[in-house]
Amino acid sequence: MGYKIVDVELSSPLAPIELGPQQDGVGLIARWQNRLVGFEMITLPTTGVLSAERLRSIADQRFAPRILVAKMEEELRRRRPVAEPALPSLSIAICTKDRAERLSRLLASLDDIRRKSAFPFVEILVVDNASADSATREAVQRFKDIRYVLEPRAGLDFARNAAVRSATGSMIAYLDDDVVVDRNWLEGLAKVCRDHPGAGGFTGLVLPLRLDTEAQIFFEQRGGFGRGFNRNEFHNARFDNPLHPVGSGILGAGCNMAFDRTLLLSLGGFDEALDTGAPLPGGGDLDIFYRVLRSGRSMVYEPEYAVYHEHRETIDQLRRQYWTWGLGMMAFLVKSRRTDAALRARHRAMVRWWFFDRLKALARAVRKLQGRDFGFAIAELWGGIHGLAGEYDRSRVRVQAIRELNQ
Amino acid sequence: MSGGAFRIRQIDLGSPDADVDAGDTPSLSIFWWKDLPLGMRASLPDELPYTEARLRQLAAEFSAAQLAARSIRLGAPLRATYEGCPKSVLSLTAALDAKDLVGCLDELATASSAPAQHVSVVICTRDRGPALAQCLQSIARQRSAPGEVIVVDNSRDANAWPVCIHFPDIRYVHEPRPGLSAARSAGIRASRRDIIAFTDDDVEVHPGWTAEIARAFAEWDVEALTGLVLPARLDTIAQRRFQFDMGGFGATFVPLIFDQRFFEETRPSGAHVWKIGAGANMAFRRSAFDRVGSFDERLGAGAAGCSEDSELWYRLLATGGACLYEPRAVVFHHHRRDWPGFRRQMKAYMKGHVAALVAQYDNFGDRGNIDRIWKQLPAYFVRTFVKTLFEGPPGRIGILAAEVQGWLAGLQFLLRFGWRKRRTSNWLRKTR
């Protein structure tokens, strides 16, 4: 089992796609004139080949409307040229721990595009977050012009804050070490920066890097990290969602995000008690999105600012990920409820909504007799209960201990 | 949802500086491309003003949908399918080949200048003098003057007469028999033109309304037409609840053809004819009434409730006809301002809906109508109740209670055999 990931340029003639052995589907990444317009997973259990006709009919249904939107947008842009503000200087921060191989893969993908970028200044920082050996440092040394920063205190948000402090760009883009950037990643970021000069931050599309294992396919089929192919703007309040911005997960994911660095500094950076490795590995991205929106600045989701994420390989790892989602979400809500009294009613409503929603997922899994779904739903619920039951406070105590240890 | 009144803003995306007057109040923005309505979006002050990039993106998304629905080259027209969702037939080749989209959109957005001499406008009114005056003023401002305007006064004491005398060229008909259907039938009898357009006394019509109706009937071989109903004001909570929580008059901005396919696809659950449009903005060829009869006088405001309009569309579709939804024909509806009035309206809607389902079942014997009464509506009540408990807006439970009351009140029509024996019109007895 496994899906072959194929990048298809729709403006050139379509050719059939042949699957390799042990592949029974295609993860189709569609572009129009190099611009990402869609992603579809297509199962082909018996044939082993995606014919050009089938490809065309999928393109008719799924991608043609997006092409029309993209064309229209470009025409409007041409007809009404606006003064384009200068791009800020950019720091790209990669926080990593003991994953030298994946880090090299990411740095290689960045190397290809940094030279062609429109940004006046681009620096790349690798924050080595208390790696056990020197492999990370050695991996960085194999590439040119990359700054290496050591953060001895273990915890993703310690590393992210170290990056904010040592970066020099006026904008800082974060990447996780388990992603690879799309070839238009910097262009996408440049475009959204020019269009939204006042925004406090940006999030981007996350597509799957591989769909080789059951867990990876399953995760992507349930929506993955993708937030679709429409640009979206987020503010402190939203008419169509009375819980916003408490449900800040809709903005995107922490593996591909960028912020105005001055804003991050003025907000006090990331909350180090969230995203602290093993006991509470999550919620840091939700928290920072939320605080940026609460500060009154907007955030923009841009599909052309895309990365490919290597999803969890095994079902056990995936179950654990769902558990951490529940945990991180509730820890974030507990924290926000405590620090942001003005929105308490929304935090409460969000907890209610979240449990209602997860229980619905559980009921669905029971009805369809899907044991695995059931397991994931239980894991997420259990993580949520754990998160409500004081995990944030325990994490703060731990973080304090880590700080003292390293002083 | 914010407590403050919503401002309604008309934004022309086709002109530069579209959103200079952003304001800092919650707004419902209605987007146009010249005279073509493109879409609408409600926003809180935090989301405003729309940035240049945001407006460009909205324009691109809205207008791509318009092009796919209207441009023959891109596969239009769209036919309504189950749930009223249009299914695009746009192809990759067409999308790749499409050129000069803005020019194409400009062409589609050209306002109609079709003469409306063959259109009779019928306005039924009851005890709403000031509103009627506003409505008649908007009719007087039409770009293409209609052939005649008929006001049917459904009040007992003919109180619309003093309003009508201020408007020359209006034909006044007094129909004291209560019920909107009776009034509309009186309007049809009094009218003399080939196309009969209906609107209500709580509506203001767009200056291009009659011209767009004339154009649509000239271009399409359909017997009936409905148009876009936009809110005129969103000042009170009741008005906003109706617009936002209850979906208003469920306005999509792309044209749709409701034909046999839609009818057959939705028939098992009672043919979703209420999605075709609203009685506040509809028009028919005179021949349609000759073929399937007039409005059922047992239904409609003043009788069983509403749904006399959708019951007529049901008869049209069930006998092979088609109805066009053309959002270029725009009216602005004044929703009920006060909460009790709004609840009464929701109750009447549900009651009329159930009565219409019974009438449709009696006329054509489609079991789906009864299934809708017994299965789908109760399921909708339960679903809405559970959803509201967890995430619903306050006040939704009150509306739901009114709907359940309306449903209970509607059930009596299933048991009243005298009511059911009367059937819809002479036409049905003739054809059976």
What's the one-letter identity of residue A331?
A
Q: Which residues contact B386 (CB under 8 A, 6 or more apart)?
A: none
* Residue contact A237–B44, C-beta within 8 A: yes
- The mean pLDDT value for B167-187 works out to 92
B256 touches B80 (CB < 8 A)? yes
Q: Which residues contact B89 (CB under 8 A, 6 or more apart)?
A: B75, B76, B78
CA atoms within 13 A on the CB side of B265: 13
CA distance B29 to chain A (A): 12
Q: Which of A10, A77, A233 sits opposite B56 (nearest CB)?
A: A77
Q: A84 at the B interface (CB within 8 A)?
A: no
Place of tokens 């179950």: A319
Spell out which residues of chain B touch residue A61, defining contact as CB-CB under 8 Å.
Answer: 88
What are the phi and psi torsion angles at B40 (to 5°)? -145, 160
Where is pLDDT greater, at A93 or B432?
A: A93
Please choose, from the candidates B427, B408, B411, the residue with its C-alpha nearest in 3D space to the C-alpha of residue B419: B411
Answer whether residue B427 shows pLDDT above 60: no
| Beta strands per DSSP E along A49-109 | 49-50, 90-96
CA distances from B412 to B346, B372, B373 (A): 18, 15, 12
CA distance A239 to chain B (A): 5
Helices (H), B191-280: 209-219, 237-240, 260-266
- The mean pLDDT value for B139-148 works out to 95
- The mean pLDDT value for B89-94 works out to 88
Place of tokens 């309604």: B8
B315 touches B248 (CB < 8 A)? no
Q: Chain A interface, mutation test: which of B55, B71, B92, B96, most A Cβ atoms within 10 Å?
A: B92
- The mean pLDDT value for B46-73 works out to 89
- The mean pLDDT value for B305-328 works out to 92
Q: Which residues contact B204 (CB under 8 A, 6 or more apart)?
A: B134, B135, B137, B138, B232, B331, B332, B334
Per-residue pLDDT tens digits for A141-158 = 999 999 999 999 999 999
- How far apart CA B261 and CA B243 sit, in angstroms, is 29
pLDDT at position B283 is 97
Place of tokens 């749930």: B83
A7 touches A40 (CB < 8 A)? no
Answer whether residue B2 shows pLDDT above 60: no
CA distance B56 to chain A (A): 7
CA distances from A69 to A178, B29, B39, B93 (A): 32, 21, 15, 15
Could you tell me how far CA A182 lies from the centroid of its own chain? 13
Q: Given the DSSP bridges, would you call strands B323-333 and B203-205 parallel, antiparallel or unpaired? A: antiparallel
* Residue contact A59–B92, C-beta within 8 A: yes
Per-residue pLDDT tens digits for A265-286 = 999 999 999 988 777 888 999 9
* Residue contact B390–A352, C-beta within 8 A: yes
Where is pLDDT greater, at B77 or A171?
A: A171
CA distances from B151 to A260, B133, B165, B193, B209 (A): 62, 11, 11, 15, 17
Token output for A75: 């025409």
CA distance A196 to chain B (A): 7
- How far apart CA A116 and CA A318 sit, in angstroms, is 37
Spell out which residues of chain B touch residue A70, defining contact as CB-CB under 8 Å.
Answer: 60
Spell out which residues of chain A touch residue B92, defining contact as CB-CB under 8 Å.
Answer: 10, 56, 59-60, 63-64, 67
* Residue contact B96–A240, C-beta within 8 A: no
A347 touches A341 (CB < 8 A)? no
Where is pLDDT greater, at A12 or A112?
A: A12
pLDDT at position A107 is 96
pLDDT at position B84 is 56
* Residue contact B26–A239, C-beta within 8 A: yes
What are the phi and psi torsion angles at B274 (to 5°)? -70, -15
A residues 346-385 closer than 8 Å to B (CB):
349, 352-353, 356
Spell out which residues of chain A touch residue B2, defining contact as CB-CB under 8 Å.
Answer: 237, 239
A58 touches A139 (CB < 8 A)? no
- The mean pLDDT value for B283-294 works out to 93
Spell out which residues of chain A touch residue B395, defining contact as CB-CB under 8 Å.
Answer: none
A230 touches B61 (CB < 8 A)? yes
- How far apart CA A158 and CA A127 sit, in angstroms, is 10
CA distance A195 to chain B (A): 6
The ipTM of this complex is 0.89
Query: What is the DSSP track for B29-51?
Result: EEEEETTEEEEEEEE-GGG-SPP
pLDDT at position A407 is 76
pLDDT at position A339 is 94
Q: Given the DSSP bridges, would you call strands B7-12 and A201-208 parallel, antiparallel or unpaired? A: unpaired
pLDDT at position B330 is 96
pLDDT at position B423 is 67
Helices (H), A274-343: 284-294, 315-339
pLDDT at position A95 is 95
Token output for A208: 């799957």
Could you tell me how far CA A312 lies from the centroid of its own chain? 14
pLDDT tier at B432, thresholds 50, 70, 90 = very low
DSSP B111: P
Size of interface A-B (CB pairs under 8 A): 106
Using DSSP, state whether B173 is helix, strand or coil.
strand
Find the residue in B nearest to A196 (Cα). B53
Spell out which residues of chain B touch residue A63, defining contact as CB-CB under 8 Å.
Answer: 92
Q: Which residues contact A340 (CB under 8 A, 6 or more apart)?
A: A294, A347
- How far apart CA A36 and CA A228 sit, in angstroms, is 11
CA distance A42 to chain B (A): 18
CA distance A345 to chain B (A): 12
- How far apart CA A374 and CA B412 sit, in angstroms, is 45
CA distances from B36 to A145, B62, B330, B381 (A): 54, 11, 10, 37
Spell out which residues of chain B touch residue A196, defining contact as CB-CB under 8 Å.
Answer: 51, 53
Find the residue in A nearest to B100 (Cα). A75
| N- to C-terminal Cα separation, chain A | 50
- What is the value of pTM for the model shown? 0.91
* Residue contact A236–B46, C-beta within 8 A: yes
**Cβ count within 10 A of residue A287:** 25
- How far apart CA A195 and CA A82 sit, in angstroms, is 9
Spell out which residues of chain A touch residue B47, defining contact as CB-CB under 8 Å.
Answer: 233, 235, 237-239
- The mean pLDDT value for A174-185 works out to 95
Q: Which residues contact A86 (CB under 8 A, 6 or more apart)?
A: A120
Spell out which residues of chain A touch residue B43, defining contact as CB-CB under 8 Å.
Answer: 239
Give percent of chain B with pLDDT exceeding 70.
94
- The mean pLDDT value for B63-70 works out to 91
- How far apart CA A73 and CA A57 sit, in angstroms, is 24
* Residue contact A11–B96, C-beta within 8 A: yes
Token output for B270: 């009672």
pLDDT at position A281 is 83
What's the one-letter identity of residue B416?
R
Q: Which residues contact B294 (CB under 8 A, 6 or more apart)?
A: B181, B184, B185, B188, B312, B425
Answer whether residue B428 shows pLDDT above 70: no
- How far apart CA A98 and CA A24 sit, in angstroms, is 33
Rg of chain B over Cα atoms, rounded to whole angstroms, equals: 21
A304 touches A36 (CB < 8 A)? yes
Place of tokens 């405003």: B48
Answer whether residue B424 shows pLDDT above 70: no
Q: A314 at the B interface (CB within 8 A)?
A: no
Answer whether residue A313 shows pLDDT above 70: yes
* Residue contact B51–A196, C-beta within 8 A: yes
B235 touches B345 (CB < 8 A)? no
What are the phi and psi torsion angles at B50 (to 5°)? -65, 135
Q: Which of B47, B65, B90 sits opposite A238 (nearest CB)?
A: B47
Q: Chain A interface, mutation test: which of B2, B6, B56, B100, most A Cβ atoms within 10 Å?
A: B56
pLDDT at position B430 is 47
Token output for B216: 């649509």
pLDDT at position B331 is 97
**Cβ count within 10 A of residue A208:** 23
* Residue contact A68–B95, C-beta within 8 A: yes
Spell out which residues of chain B touch residue A236, defining contact as CB-CB under 8 Å.
Answer: 46
- How far apart CA B58 and CA A326 sit, in angstroms, is 34
Spell out which residues of chain B touch residue A239, defining contact as CB-CB under 8 Å.
Answer: 1-2, 26, 42-44, 47
Please choose, from the candidates B383, B136, B418, B86, the residue with its C-alpha nearest in 3D space to the C-alpha of residue B258: B86
pLDDT tier at B3, thresholds 50, 70, 90 = low
**Cβ count within 10 A of residue B68:** 24
| N- to C-terminal Cα separation, chain B | 52
- The mean pLDDT value for A98-119 works out to 92
pLDDT tier at B1, thresholds 50, 70, 90 = very low
pLDDT at position A12 is 93
Helices (H), A185-314: 185-195, 214-221, 261-266, 284-294
pLDDT tier at A183, thresholds 50, 70, 90 = very high
Spell out which residues of chain B touch residue A56, defining contact as CB-CB under 8 Å.
Answer: 92
- The mean pLDDT value for A76-87 works out to 86
pLDDT at position B19 is 61
Q: Chain A interface, mutation test: which of B28, B43, B46, most A Cβ atoms within 10 Å?
A: B46
Whether the CA torsion A258, A126, A163, A277 is positive or negative: it is: positive
Q: A196 at the B interface (CB within 8 A)?
A: yes
**Which burial class, exposed, middle or buried, applies to B205 when counting CB atoms under 10 A from its CB (0-12, 13-18, 19+)?**
buried
Please choose, from the candidates A63, A70, A64, A53, the residue with its C-alpha nearest in 3D space to the C-alpha of residue A28: A63
Mean of all residue pLDDT scores within chain A: 92
Q: Given the DSSP bridges, would you call strands B7-12 and B27-33 parallel, antiparallel or unpaired? A: parallel
- How far apart CA B333 and CA B233 sit, in angstroms, is 8
Mean of all residue pLDDT scores within chain B: 89
Per-residue pLDDT tens digits for B200-222 = 999 999 999 999 999 999 999 99
pLDDT at position A373 is 85
Rg of chain A over Cα atoms, rounded to whole angstroms, equals: 21
